[in-house]
Structures are given as C-alpha cells and as structure tokens.
Amino acid sequence: MLLLALMSIGMSVAAHAQFSPGTPRAGVEPTRTFIQENLVYPADALEAGRNGTVVVAFHLDEKGQGSDYHIKTSFCEEADRQAIDLVQKILWNPAYQELSAVASEMEYRIEYKAKAYKRYWKKRERTTPPLTHEADTSYHIYELYQLDEQAKPYFANGSTLAQYILKELQYPEAAKVGEIQGTVRLSFVVETDGAISNILVEQSVGGGCDNEAIRLMEGTRWIPAVKNGQYVRSRNEQDITFNFGTRNYQDGNSY
C-alpha cells in the first residue's frame, strides 16, 4: 500500500509538471510594458501615495479566448475598472496539458505603486491623440480588409511613420558586429484609444533587430480605425528594415 501511495504521488507530481499555464501572445515583458504605458493611476490614490494591487481573474478556453473577467483582489473602484479593461485587451496563448491545449482559470496581477508611477512619468510625456468618436466596447478586433480605406487607423505622432522610424531607429550593436541586415515584420493591434498592444514578431531578423523594432512600435500612437461611427480595435502589420550603407540610424552614420 505504501508503494502504491508513493507511485500515486509521483504520478500526480509528473502530471502537474506537464501543465503549462496560458501566456500572453506578445510575451511577458512587452505585455508588462503595454500595461505600464497605459495605466492611469486613480488621482486621489496617487495624491495620497496609496499603493495597491488589482488581481483580475478570468477563464481561458482551449483556443486562448478569455471570458468571465472579474476582480479577485481590489484596490479601488476606478483602478478595478481600468485593470479589467487592460487585461481584456491582452491576447493569449492557451494553457497546455502535455501537448494538448486545455481550458484553464487564469489570474493577472497589476501593481499600483505611486512613487514608481510618478518616477516613470516624470521622464516621459503621456500623449493622447485627438479623438472625436465613442469607442466600441465589444473588444472585437477587425482586420484591415473589413474596414473602409478612409476609416483605417493611421499614425499620429506628428510626422509620417517612415519619418519617425528614420529618426528614432537605433541599429543594434550586435547586428552591426554580426553584419545582420533584413526586415522585421510586426503585427499589432491599434486600440480604440490609439494605443498599440499585442505586438508580435511575424518575421524575425535577430541580432537585436526584433527588440528594436518592437521598441519603435511601442513608442507610437495612432488614430484608431472607425466602424459604424465608433472607434474599433484593428489588426495591423508594419515592416521595419535594417540595412547597411544608409543614413537611417539615430547617430546619423552609415554602416
């Protein structure tokens, strides 16, 4: 009986070890950056220096679709509402049991730290593009072919996207040393407030170029797509090319 009990415990531990929870499609760090860039601290709590944690719980099905979002740990009503909104914007990979996708119960934790928040935004400028429509609240993501040409999202950083990339791109040192060139293709979602989320590398170059392309895209703001008189979420793609012999790096030199 003791042997059977030990075998049972061993099988239970092995089964548990083979379970992998759901993960953000864009990766943990880019998702954390999205939360950080779009978090708005409740004014009263920020003034009082109050810290807190919001834990959003939800069900994730075997296709990576989330549902039943609710607050498990509350900070304050305003923070809770925004936390649920931010977490609902995250696209997920499903959990896996061995090699099969399975449904699971998930939690996402958002920390509210007043001093860190003030320090972060002291060094940055929060930009919000001028918006004139109400936002669609369904969280549905439209493909570009589903949108009228004049209603597609467009870059809103005060110049063209090409000019922005030309000015801000920093050629990664590892790519210089390795003489790595190529085009990184990113897909991303333009949210109803013009923020960028769920950045995925669809075509990789390596040598740090993927990370630099993501950094560039994280720094952009957009006028969102319009559908039926409302701002909607839309999926987009952007190519960012890294090549030698052109003066398209931040220091102005050719490589």
- pLDDT at position 250: 44
Domain map (residue ranges) of the chain: 21-122, 134-242
State how beta strands 230-242 and 141-143 pair.
parallel
Q: What is the DSSP string of 194-235?
A: S-EEEEEEEE---TTHHHHHHHHHHT--EEPEEETTEEEEEE
pTM for the full predicted model: 0.86
The fold adopted by the segment(s) 21-122 is: 3.30.1150
Q: Which position has the token pair 């952009």? A: 220
Convert the pLDDT of each residue in 96-145 to its tens digit: 999 899 999 999 999 999 999 999 999 888 888 889 999 999 999 999 99
d(CA 214, CA 18): 31
The fold adopted by the segment(s) 134-242 is: TolA/TonB C-terminal domain (3.30.2420)
Lowest mean pLDDT among 2-6, 40-44, 51-55, 66-70: 2-6
Q: Calculate what percentage of the chain has a pLDDT beyond 90.
A: 79
Q: Is the pLDDT assigned to residue 68 strictly greater than 80?
A: yes
Convert the pLDDT of each residue in 139-177 to its tens digit: 999 999 999 999 999 999 878 999 999 999 999 999 999
Q: What is the mean pLDDT of residues 89-97?
A: 97
